[in-house]
Structure 1
Amino acid sequence: MKRSSKLFSVVAALALLTGPAAAQMMNLMPEVKTKSAEEKEQDAITEKAYRESLRKIPDTKAAADPWGNVRSDAPKAVAPAKQPRTKTGSAAN
C-alpha cells in the first residue's frame, strides 16, 4: 500500500512539473499572420523599387592593373617544373 502511494505522489509531482513546460512550448509556435491588401500592395511597390535600384548599379569592369603602365612587357609564363634527379644524375620517371 505504501509503495503505491509513493508511486502516485511521484507521478503527481511529475505531472505538476511538466504541465507548465508544455504550456510554454505552445507559446513558441509563431502565429500565422495574413497581410491585408494594402500591405501586399506596399510590399509590391517596395520590391519594384528595389529591383529598379539594382538595375541602376553599373556592371563591374575588368580588374584594374595598377602596375600595368610600369611594366615594359607582358608577364612571363611560369617555367615548367624541373624533374627530380636520381643519385646517378639521370631523370626520374
Structure 2
Amino acid sequence: MLMIHHLAVDGVSWRILLEDINIAWAQHRSGQQILLPITGTSFARWATLLAEHARHPEVVEQAQMWREIVAVPAVLTAVCPKWIRLKAPGACRCR
C-alpha cells in the first residue's frame, strides 16, 4: 500500500506517478532492471515554448479580438427550482 497526502501529490500528478510505479513494479517482478521512460516536457521548457507561441504572428494578430471578448461580462442567470426561491427579486437559495 502506498499513501501520499494530497498536499504532496495532486490528482493529475497521481496519474503520472502511478504510471511510473506500475512500470517499475512490472520490471521488478519480472527480474528486469528498473528503467523508467524519459520524462516529458519540463515546466521550464513548456513555459519557454508557450512564450514563443505567444509571440507568433498569428497569435499576436488575434490578441485584440480576445481582449474585446473577455472585456464583455458573461450573463449567467441563477438556476434554482421555483420552490426554493426567496421573496427578494433575483435572490435564491440553492442547496
Question: What is the TM-score of this pair, normalised by structure 2?
Answer: 0.28
**Which is higher, the Rg of structure 1 or of structure 2?**
1
TM-score, scaled to structure 1: 0.28
